[in-house]
Amino acid sequence: MKRRAFLRTLSAAGGFLAGGPLPAADKVKRNMIVRSTRPEDLEMPLDGFATWITPIERFFVRSHMYTPKVDLSRWQLRVEGEVATPLTLTMEDLRKLPQAELAGVLECAGNGRSFYRPTVAGLQWEHGSVGNGRWKGVRLADVLKRAGIRASGKHVLLDGADVPMGTMPDFVRTIPAQKALHADTLLAFDMNGEPLPVAHGFPLRAIVPGWAGDSWTKWITHVRVLDKEHDGFFMKTAYRYPVTSVAPGSSVDQALMTPVESLRPKSVIGGPLEGSRVGADGKPVRIWGVAWSGEAPVAKVEVSTDSGRTWLTATLGQDRDKYAWRSWEHFWTPPRPAHYVLMARATDARGETQPFAQDWNPSGYLWNVVPQVRVEGGPGPEMMSTMPTQAAPEFPPKVKQACIGCHESDAIAGQRLTRAQWEREADKMIRWGATVKPEDRPELIDFLARHFGVR
Cα separations in angstroms, 43 against 5, 85, 125, 128, 292: 29, 42, 7, 5, 18
* Of residues 78 and 407, the one with the C-beta less far from ligand HEC: 407
What's the min distance (Å) between Cβ of 238 and ligand HEC?
8
Rounded to the nearest 5°, which phi and psi values hold at 428? -60, -45
Residues 6+ away with beta carbon under 8 Å from 442: none
> Which segment (91-99, 151-159, 295-303, 421-429) binds ligand HEC by CB under 6 A?
421-429
Cα 426 off chain centre by = 23
d(CA 400, CA 405): 8
> Which segment (155-163, 323-331, 371-379, 427-435) binds ligand HEC by CB under 6 A?
427-435
Binding residues among 163-202 for ligand HEC as defined by CB under 6 A: 165-166, 168
Mask for 150-169, x = binds ligand HEC (CB under 6 A) = ---------------xx-x-
* Of residues 198 and 402, the one with the C-beta less far from ligand HEC: 402
d(CA 75, CA 79): 13
Q: Which of 433, 437, 442, 446 binds ligand HEC (CB under 6 A)?
A: 433
Q: Which of 27, 90, 432, 449 binds ligand HEC (CB under 6 A)?
A: 432
Cα separations in angstroms, 416 against 220, 396, 419: 34, 19, 10
Compute the C-alpha angle 240/242/243, nearest 5°. Answer: 115
Q: Which of 72, 89, 187, 426 binds ligand HEC (CB under 6 A)?
A: 426
CA-nearest of 347, 444, 352, 357 to 395 is: 444
Contact between 434 and ligand HEC (CB under 6 A)?
yes
Contact between 129 and ligand HEC (CB under 6 A)?
no
Contact between 407 and ligand HEC (CB under 6 A)?
yes
* Of residues 154 and 416, the one with the C-beta less far from ligand HEC: 416
CA-nearest of 393, 365, 386 to 452 is: 393
Give how many residues touch ligand HEC by CB under 6 A: 23
Q: Which of 114, 119, 361, 415 binds ligand HEC (CB under 6 A)?
A: 415
* Of residues 233 and 311, the one with the C-beta less far from ligand HEC: 233
Whether the Cβ atoms of residue 182 and residue 104 lie closer than 8 Å to each other: no
* Of residues 161 and 373, the one with the C-beta less far from ligand HEC: 161
Contact between 436 and ligand HEC (CB under 6 A)?
yes
* Of residues 167 and 245, the one with the C-beta less far from ligand HEC: 167
What's the min distance (Å) between Cβ of 36 and ligand HEC?
7
* Of residues 230 and 326, the one with the C-beta less far from ligand HEC: 230
* Of residues 143 and 429, the one with the C-beta less far from ligand HEC: 429
Compute the C-alpha angle 22/23/29, nearest 5°. Answer: 140
d(CA 432, CA 165): 8
Q: Determine if the peptide bond prior to 197 is cis (ω within 30°).
A: no
What radius of gyration, in Å, describes the C-alpha atoms of the chain?
23
d(CA 217, CA 207): 8
d(CA 91, CA 74): 10
CA-nearest of 320, 416, 428 to 115 is: 416
> Which segment (11-19, 124-132, 283-291, 426-434) binds ligand HEC by CB under 6 A?
426-434
Binding residues among 88-127 for ligand HEC as defined by CB under 6 A: 121-122
* Of residues 275 and 405, the one with the C-beta less far from ligand HEC: 405
Binding residues among 270-329 for ligand HEC as defined by CB under 6 A: none
Contact between 403 and ligand HEC (CB under 6 A)?
yes
Mask for 45-84, x = binds ligand HEC (CB under 6 A) = -------------------x--------------------
CA-nearest of 262, 163, 181, 205 to 59 is: 205
CA-nearest of 271, 257, 224, 289 to 52 is: 289
What's the min distance (Å) between Cβ of 446 and ligand HEC?
12
Residues that bind ligand HEC (CB under 6 A): 39, 64, 121-122, 165-166, 168, 402-403, 405-407, 411-412, 415, 425-426, 429, 432-434, 436, 448
